[in-house]
Amino acid sequence: MPEPRTIVAPQFDDAAQQQETSMLGMWVFLATEVMFFGGLFASYTMYRALYAQAFAAASHHLDIVLGTLNTAVLLTSSLTMALAVRSAQVGARRTTATLLVVTMLLGLAFLGIKGVEYYQKYVDHLVPGPSFSFSGANRHDAEMFFYLYFVMTGLHALHMIAGVGVMSVLTILTVRGRFTPAYYNPLEIGGLYWHFVDIVWIFLFPLLYLIGHHT
């Protein structure tokens, strides 16, 4: 099968301009995502500063093993994503597709583990709302912690789901031979998005799971 030509959209002068433009576009988009999550991080920072002890007590109810495991899963998925982009750079189509699928599976694993954690919280009556029950002095402040936990990890999970969707599209395009060493923009910018979602979790993990000293 002949190598596909790199298609340059009509508003661009050449492929290089197209590539640089799409990269800058994704980075600007990631800056907006930083601000989107940022509102939640600002809220978290404020309440943690005000209710430090309650937050620490509440945090101890999170499963540190699952949290660490999930972090490792995501870090691995970032590795496989970076390797997938690299495979496209050197024209190794099958390897690219395989690595993308592995990345997706790791992402789904992350979501699965998250689901298990959410279910555990539900069973333990730690979901904010009428069924919330927390034994300890600062019931309301602990409820605030769990509210932030669910909203922040929930928003993160939504972004993961979108990321898995993006990965599946990229996988299909790879298998169809859409990418060459001369043109792999969508893979690169998809990778940037995936790594960003990983970075959000890199901050969520210590802020939510590792508050206060664990014995």
Contacts to another protein from residues 184-203, by CB under 8 A: 188, 191-192, 195-196, 198-199, 202-203
Our CB check for another protein shows the closer of 33 and 117 to be 33
CB of 202 to another protein, least distance (A): 5
Candidates 70-78, 96-104, 105-113, 168-176: pick the segment binding another protein (CB under 8 A): 70-78
d(CA 148, CA 113): 19
Closest distance to another protein from the beta carbon of 171 (Å): 19
182: number of CA atoms within 13 Å, CB side? 8
17-46 binders of another protein (CB under 8 A): 17, 19-21, 23-25, 27-43, 45-46
Least spacing, CB of residue 71 vs another protein, in Å: 6
Instruction: Tell me if 214 contacts another protein by CB under 8 A.
Output: yes
What does the DSSP assignment read for 82-135?
A: HHHHHHHHTT-HHHHHHHHHHHHHHHHHHHHHHHHHHHHHHHTT-SSSTT----
Asked whether 86 and 143 are in contact (CB, 8 A), the reply is no
- List the one residue from 1, 2, 123, 215 that touches another protein (CB under 8 A): 215
| Dihedral sign from CA coordinates of 30, 35, 39, 41 | positive
Residues binding another protein: number (CB under 8 A): 79
**Cβ-contact 197, 167 below 8 angstroms:** no
Residues 85-144 that bind another protein (CB under 8 A): 86, 89-90, 128-129, 132, 140-141, 143-144
Closest approach, Cβ 22 to another protein, in A, equals 8
- CB of 207 closer than 8 Å to CB of 44: yes
Using CB under 8 A, pick the residue from 109, 111, 120, 147 that binds another protein. Answer: 147
H/E segment holding residue 140: helix 139-175
Does residue 7 bind another protein (CB under 8 A)?
no
